[in-house]
Structure 1
Amino acid sequence: MSNQTSDTRHQASGIRHDGAPIGVFDSGYGGLTVLKEFVSRLPQYDYLYLGDNGRAPYGNRSFETVYEYTLQCVKWFFEQGCSLVILACNTASAKALRSIQQNDLPLIAPDKRVLGVIRPTTEIIGNYSESGEIGILATKGTVHSESYPIEIRKFFPETSVYQEACPMWVPIVENNEIHTQGANFFIKKNLHALFQKGPKIDVVLLACTHYPLLKDDIQEHLPIDVKLVTQGELVAHSLAGYLNRHPEIEQQCSKNGQQQFFTTDSTEDFDQHGSMFFGAPVKSRYLELR
């Protein structure tokens, strides 16, 4: 893959940080559900969030395009002083993370780290299952990539993994149709299809950062003995462990308990939707990427 990306130009001038916030990146709003869990578990740290809404969605773009967009944003985080960047985006984690870690970091920032959300999820999810059968609810792109079954079997080779694509769930969330009859219909439909594939499933993973907003409705339609796990919970647990194991990175992270938000599209739209995903008011600034 080419290491060339466009220049980064931003209209959000005057950005200042005391130390190094932890960067959290997503193609849109969904990563805010992951950030929410970070702040809940590790509130002492500063966080800098960027949603590349102006170029979303990433899911239907090529590996090369996702790589270039993601690398451009990662470089922006580095320019802001971040020593650690989390790709809170399944598509970026699947299509860009490995190339950035192996090819780019050694050249442009050998002392900095970029982590994703797939590995931290897959290396622990098997511990939640007693039956050895795990259900994955995700977007079509994530399901077709086979990222979760492949990675889960690396850590839990005896586990059976069943996937169900839920193409209507993201539009339901983004159009604020949660708790409606329409949402209820599609949740029941997709859960029924999932359990038809794996009747002994005892753990269901929400492998899309939008889906936690539907968690209560999903829970209502699950058998009482089935655990429902969100990605943000697992990634926050993993981040805490990572910082504990890597004091050379942890000591660089600033600790003022602050969060800043940036978007490459309308700040008004981002703040409205973002507050719903983050569970608290969000005030973003516009960032122009070229």
Structure 2
Amino acid sequence: MDNLKPLRWGIIGCGNVTEVKSGPPYKNTKGFELSMVMRRNAEKAADYAKRHQVPFWTTNASKVIENPKIDAVYIATPPDTHKLYGLLVAAAGKPCCIEKPMAPCYADSLEIYNAFQKNGIPLFIAYYRRSLPRFNKVKEWLDKGLIGDVRHIRWYKSRTPSELDLSGTYNWRTDAKIAPAGYFDDLASHGLDLFTYLLGNIKDAKGFAVNQQGLYSAKDAVTGSWLHENGITGEGSWIFGANEQQDKVEIFGSKGEIRFSVLNELPIELISPKLKESLIIEHPKHLHRYHVENIQKHLSGIAQHPSTGATGLHTSWVMDKILGN
């Protein structure tokens, strides 16, 4: 990347996720500028561009992808359109970041990955937790061997049905045509991706997925187990019709354990006979800040980004295995 010329980004799908969480970093990161946004609703696209001081907006994704004044594209649409837009961006030869999960299934994720590989184009997946200080502290503890040899990881995630779920109001996150496993696709993908970052790739996984409540078409209860390539075992349960919300991860080692939450900002805890530590490491205002800064470093040749098409593809494979696909 030419350090003298800002990389001009376009966003496809400037919805709620891009308001604070992910959009501003593409404007605020040194060497980047946010030049164009797209949304199907013209009024909302224009409003977003005005409020965020983005020069151009459109209702047509192709006008972002094919625009010679746009150098890179962030795809922030629901998962069912990631393949459509991803293949178009790959064909246009532009670096791309795709929201997670990479696609609704491994086969679509593989097609996206292969398109970028074939053209030698950088591809990033928005698993931003790999770049957050909170989780990199956990990685530091693990890399230093502070709990000895890691033996097992366990994650239990539950939540009560939302008012949206109970009312029957349409929600793409629970539409089986867009997200076959519902909130598992949206939320569990973050943790499973993080676990491979912390503990290494997974060699096998299996599980069960059912719809217990009948509130929507997607699955609402999933349980799975897996085996990392280094012999570490893992298990997870994701229940979206429980009586209370819980989000608890435990990593068990030969000399201690680490506890943390994937989705909530609870303390990270290190517990061993020789050391006990509990830390609160707050997230940045814009959650994608470090993720986007790492994209800039990657494109500048400074450092390898922790969340690429290859790592995102692996997470898609693990999810498919757990879902029995």
TM range (shorter): 0.3 to 0.5
- Structure having the higher strand fraction is 2
What TM-score comes out, normalization by structure 2 length? 0.39
Q: Bigger relative contact order, structure 1 or 2, given CA contacts below 8 A and separation 6+?
A: 1
- Structure having the higher helix fraction is 1
Please tell me whether Structure 1 or Structure 2 has the larger radius of gyration of its CA atoms: 2
